[in-house]
Amino acid sequence: MAKVVIDEARCKGCALCTLACPKKLIRMSDKLNRQGFLPAVFPAECSRDCTSCALCAQMCPDVAITVFRAEKGEKP
């Protein structure tokens, strides 16, 4: 099972990650972060559908996204 961690404090809400995600699993929050931006969020229920492609992390200009891939043999 993949895990995507978004550092909401670093996110400026550019939404490039939402465009990069081929499965459209990343969304924009409806709550402002400390800097006054609407940060990206990755809902926990989406982790089963994530392929760990890391396109979201590659696209992020603020390096606010980290993608963890499932270990071989790990069960969801």
Domain that holds residue 17: 3-68
CATH of the domain at 55: 3.30.70.20
pLDDT at 47: 87
User: How high is the mean pLDDT in each 10-residue block of the chain (76 residues)?
Assistant: 90 97 96 96 92 95 92 62
pLDDT at 74: 59
Angstrom CA distances, 51 to 13, 28, 34, 48, 55, stand at: 23, 20, 30, 8, 10
Residue 75 lies in a domain: no
Q: How many domains does the chain fold into? A: 1
Residue 73 lies in a domain: no
What is the distance between the terminal CA atoms of the chain, rounded to a whole angstrom? Answer: 5
